[in-house]
Amino acid sequence: MLKMFKINTSGTRNTTDTKLVRRIACEDKFATLQRLKTSISGLQSKDARQRLAKYGSNEIIIKHDKTKLHYLLKAFITPFSLVLLFLAIVAIFLNSSQHTLNLSPAIFVLAILFISAILTAMQNIRINTNIQNLINRISRTTQVMRDCEPQQLLTRDLTIGDVVLLKAGDIVPADVKLLKSNDLECSLLGEEDTVKKSATNYTGKNNNLDYANILYAGTIILSGSGIGVIFATGKETVFGKVVQNLSKINLENHLFNSSMKKLTKIFLTLILVIVPVVLLINEIMRGNWENALIFAVAITIGITAEVMPTAIVNNLVKANIDMPRIRATYDN
């Protein structure tokens, strides 16, 4: 169920979190209630307000101060784009000295430049949109026990120790340990395969985070019902940590940009090798450096069209190999 999460258990913080979840999953429900200083009747409003002040609201806040225009402009200032721009300028300069002005080579290069920049910008914007969509998975309101009675509260007002009432169609608002369950089935990824959950204490020796009595924020309740106590909220939930890790991704190093950098190195190498060689050979044989330079630029532009499909296929193949290796899944 948690195969979408690549959790590093070698780091101190993640190891501590993993041990805490395991301890809560293995211990008796009354021990968990005692640990969280709460009861099956839930928190009192005064206590809940104090906890909210201490732990913060149950929401994941990711700052997005970059506009779509920013990503688009930034996409034009990359090594790959600068190489293409240089080729376009050279093509225009060389053709302007001829009797007939031929801008088709420059237009072709500029078209590749714009397509590359737009694809890069779209990739970066899509990553940020996906992060926001993850955050929006959490329900806005949740039924919770407060002052010994069920109340419908905003999800952001929930805190550690709150007892939540879950039913079919609900989205789990925080990391929860089940106290009671009735034929509860859920799905974390919206997959067809459902996972059965119960309030039974975990007694296995597995060191992963897939426990039968633990529900993570973002989990969809497909059928049945249950009562659980919240032990982690907001950015401290497993879901919150995933979103935070996604938001910290260096967009310059994702697969698409990485391949574009490799492609840029190839172009620079070709320019530094082909242009001098062609100029030297043509100077020796014909003595016309201008035509030689045009020919060298034409070769470089031609190679661009040949290498681009190869780079795209390489991206797809590499992603297909890497995703199973990191135990990642995706939905269409």
Identify any residues that bridge with 146 across adjacent strands, giving them in sequence order: 43, 149
- Domain residue ranges of the chain, discontinuous segments joined by +: 12-60+141-240, 68-134+254-325
CA atoms within 13 A on the CB side of 205: 0
Identify any residues that bridge with 187 across adjacent strands, giving them in sequence order: 220
- Model confidence at 256, pLDDT cuts 50, 70, 90, reads low
Decide if 162 contacts 151 (C-beta within 8 A).
Answer: no
- What's the pLDDT score for residue 120? 77
Instruction: Compute the average pLDDT of residues 17-25.
Output: 83
What's the whole-model pTM score?
Answer: 0.57
Task: For residue 158, give the nearest of 294, 69, 38, 266 by alpha carbon.
Answer: 38
- Model confidence at 309, pLDDT cuts 50, 70, 90, reads low
- Model confidence at 114, pLDDT cuts 50, 70, 90, reads confident
Which of 53-62, 157-166, 264-273 has the lowest average pLDDT?
264-273
Which of 41-50, 52-61, 75-84 has the lowest average pLDDT?
75-84
Between 290 and 183, the higher pLDDT residue: 183
Q: CA 110, CA 108: separation in Å to the nearest integer?
A: 6
Task: For residue 259, give the nearest of 107, 142, 89, 123 by alpha carbon.
Answer: 123
Q: CA 210, CA 1: separation in Å to the nearest integer?
A: 6
- What's the pLDDT score for residue 292? 66
pLDDT at 328 over 80: no
- What's the pLDDT score for residue 108? 78
- What's the pLDDT score for residue 201? 77
- Model confidence at 218, pLDDT cuts 50, 70, 90, reads confident
Mean pLDDT (the chain) is: 74
pLDDT at 265 over 80: no
Highest mean pLDDT, choosing among 91-95, 236-240, 252-256, 290-294 = 236-240
Using only C-alpha atoms, what is the Rg of the chain?
29
pLDDT at 267 over 50: yes
- What's the pLDDT score for residue 182? 92
Residue 309: Cβ within 10 Å count: 9
User: Could you give the percent of the chain with pLDDT greater than 90?
Assistant: 20
- Model confidence at 230, pLDDT cuts 50, 70, 90, reads very high
Question: Span 12-60+141-240: which CATH code?
Answer: 2.70.150.10
- Model confidence at 3, pLDDT cuts 50, 70, 90, reads very low
